[in-house]
């Protein structure tokens, strides 16, 4: 048996009849509608598949759509020679063996930015809720208590919002906060163009010392792990608030609980935790439970129907662009190529092992068959090369078959 991590060279991907799409885990109907409108045969199922079930059902599938609960690992990928791409209709992609998919010539697309607005709106709500202590007042009235107080309640107009991580969410949030009359400052490790009247702070400490509200919008990376701990919390203004709807590993929760109990912070809103339950039926415990003016939510920052619909559209668009033009822009595990289609040509898409001499072999085939190349774009990573080639229509089929027969071939198909 071969020990190579790469699949054996193949014949071109076979697509007889309509392209077969399998969508699992109740992916939003917006995706089904878009894919069906392309003439694809779409099966949309509610549940996730266990590994054995996926291995059986993936055979013959051209496009697979999953969310977070279906694992797509080597055994399933090995059984799906016709699989063109995987759509992860969510943000994370660690449920897919990305390296293995790459070596099988299968790009994986996700939707990292479809819920940007949903998170920004949640944070706006929390800013007002915290400064008016709405969580506590609401709980009290539900319990039959009437505590009409103004002490410690404030308007947000004129207050300073400090945004850590001025990316998609951070910058969107800044625009919304300015519309409410807030002053907005941010700190980012990259140089970012400030929108509106927003100002960039030179250091994290400058941001912490100058904000009434500090909100985190950074990714989970080694540089952001526990970036807000005891020292940083002490730098924050007395009576200020902390909001974390980014990732659970960014804030040291015991340190935050101490800062709240001592009264140094006036409140906090937390949506993400270092360890989160796997399902809605699992219990959950955090040191922040029961503390006054602390809003705790179960990682719902991006969970809106609008975001689900946008995710469906975003991933379906990527899949369609890959099927129809070979575009891999945004794929998380693949060399990126996006080339305009040239009318009157046929496009060959070839994924091959990234070893010396492949392009020479391919160009020899093209020249031996007297084919005329209209355009050729190659992009590579450490393991594979992805070649998009536009040829005269009359020679494209034999060229495609000859390329698919090369020892270095992983996956080849032709667009008609």
| Beta-strand pair 240-244/265-270 | parallel
Q: Kindly state the DSSP code that residue 98 receives in the 8-state scheme.
A: H
Residue of this chain nearest to ligand NAI (CB atom)? 167
Quickly count: other Cβ atoms within 10 Å of residue 136's Cβ.
17
> In whole angstroms, what is the distance from residue 84 CA to residue 397 CA?
19
Structure tokens at 408: 């270095």
Q: Per the residue annotation, which of 299, 338, 374, 401 is the catalytic one?
A: 299
Helix (H, G, I), strand (E, B) or coil at 378: strand
Q: Looking at beta carbons only, is 258 or 299 nearer to ligand NAI?
A: 299
Is 240 within 8 Å of 214 (Cβ atoms)? yes
Q: Per the residue annotation, which of 33, 43, 230, 276 is the catalytic one?
A: 276
Contacts for 19 with CB less than 8 Å, ≥ 6 apart: 38, 39, 40, 41, 62, 63, 84, 323
Footprint on residues 179-238 left by ligand NAI (CB under 6 A): 187-190, 217-221, 223-224
Q: List, in sequence order, every residue forming a beta bridge with 76; answer none if it has no partner.
A: none
Footprint on residues 255-274 left by ligand NAI (CB under 6 A): 271-272
> What track of x and - describes contact with ligand NAI for positions 294 through 313 (by CB under 6 A)?
-----x-xx-----------
Q: Looking at beta carbons only, is 215 or 333 nearer to ligand NAI?
A: 215
> In whole angstroms, what is the distance from residue 330 CA to residue 103 CA?
18
Structure tokens at 183: 């002053």
> What track of x and - describes contact with ligand NAI for positions 351 through 370 (by CB under 6 A)?
--------------------
CB of 390 to ligand NAI, least distance (A): 34
Q: Looking at beta carbons only, is 44 or 247 nearer to ligand NAI?
A: 247
For the stretch 16-48, what's the b/e string if a residue is b when 16 or more beta carbons lie within 10 angstroms of its beta carbon? eeebbbbbbbebbebbbebbbeeebebebeeeb
> In whole angstroms, what is the distance from residue 80 CA to residue 6 CA?
14
Q: Does 168 bind ligand NAI (CB under 6 A)?
A: yes
Footprint on residues 310-349 left by ligand NAI (CB under 6 A): none
Q: Looking at beta carbons only, is 268 or 402 nearer to ligand NAI?
A: 268
Q: Is 353 a catalytic residue?
A: no
Between CA 257 and CA 209, with CA 169 as vertex, the angle to 5 degrees is 45
Q: Does 251 bind ligand NAI (CB under 6 A)?
A: no
Find, among 107, 22, 108, 109, the residue nearest to 62 by Cα: 22
Q: Per the residue annotation, which of 67, 247, 346, 353 is the catalytic one?
A: 247
Q: Is 28 a catalytic residue?
A: no
Footprint on residues 108-127 left by ligand NAI (CB under 6 A): 113, 115-116, 119
Q: Is 247 a catalytic residue?
A: yes
Q: Looking at beta carbons only, is 117 or 137 nearer to ligand NAI?
A: 117
Stretch that binds ligand NAI, among 51-59, 159-167, 253-261, 324-332 (CB under 6 A): 159-167
> In whole angstroms, what is the distance from residue 398 CA to residue 416 CA?
13
Q: Does 107 bind ligand NAI (CB under 6 A)?
A: no
Q: Does 170 bind ligand NAI (CB under 6 A)?
A: yes
Footprint on residues 62-101 left by ligand NAI (CB under 6 A): 91
Judged by the rule CB under 6 A, the positions of this chain that interact with ligand NAI are 91, 113, 115-116, 119, 164-170, 187-190, 217-221, 223-224, 245-247, 271-272, 299, 301-302
- Which residues are known catalytic residues? 247, 276, 299
């Amino acid at each position: 048996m071969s020990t190579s991590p790469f699949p054996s060279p193949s014949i071109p991907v076979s697509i007889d009849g309509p392209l077969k799409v399998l969508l699992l885990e109740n992916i939003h109907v917006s995706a089904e509608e878009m894919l069906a409108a392309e003439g694809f045969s779409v099966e949309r199922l509610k549940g996730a598949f266990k590994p054995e079930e996926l291995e059986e059902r993936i055979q013959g599938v051209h496009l697979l759509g999953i969310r977070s609960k279906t694992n797509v690992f080597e055994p399933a990928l090995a059984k799906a020679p016709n699989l063109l791409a995987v759509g992860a209709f969510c943000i994370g992609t660690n449920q897919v063996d990305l390296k293995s998919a790459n070596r099988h010539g299968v790009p994986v697309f996700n939707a990292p930015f479809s819920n940007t607005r949903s998170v920004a709106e949640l944070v706006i709500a929390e800013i007002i809720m915290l400064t008016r202590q709405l969580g506590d007042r609401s709980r009290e009235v539900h319990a039959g208590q009437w505590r009409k107080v103004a002490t410690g309640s404030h308007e947000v107009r004129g207050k300073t919002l400090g945004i850590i991580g001025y990316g998609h969410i951070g910058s969107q949030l800044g625009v919304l906060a300015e519309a409410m009359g807030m002053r907005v400052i941010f700190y980012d490790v990259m140089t970012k163009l400030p929108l509106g009247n927003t100002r960039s702070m030179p250091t994290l400490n400058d941001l912490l010392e100058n904000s009434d509200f500090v909100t985190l919008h950074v990714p989970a990376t080694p540089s952001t792990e526990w970036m807000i701990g005891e020292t940083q919390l002490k730098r924050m203004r007395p009576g200020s608030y902390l909001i974390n709807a980014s990732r659970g590993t960014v804030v040291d929760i015991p340190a935050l609980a101490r800062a709240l109990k001592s009264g140094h912070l006036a409140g906090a809103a937390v949506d993400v935790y270092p360890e989160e339950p796997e399902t809605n039926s699992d219990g959950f415990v955090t040191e922040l439970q029961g503390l006054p003016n602390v809003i705790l939510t179960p990682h719902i920052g991006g969970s809106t129907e609008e975001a689900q619909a946008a995710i469906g559209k975003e991933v379906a668009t990527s899949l369609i662009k890959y099927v129809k033009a070979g575009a891999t822009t945004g794929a998380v595990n693949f060399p990126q190529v996006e080339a305009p289609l040239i009318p009157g040509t046929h496009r060959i898409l070839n994924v091959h092992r990234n070893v010396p001499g492949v392009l020479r072999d391919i160009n020899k085939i093209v020249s031996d068959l007297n084919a005329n190349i209209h355009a050729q774009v190659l992009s590579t990573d450490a393991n594979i090369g992805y070649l998009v080639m536009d040829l005269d229509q009359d020679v494209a089929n034999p060229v495609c078959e000859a390329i698919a027969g090369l020892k270095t071939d992983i996956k080849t198909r032709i667009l008609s």
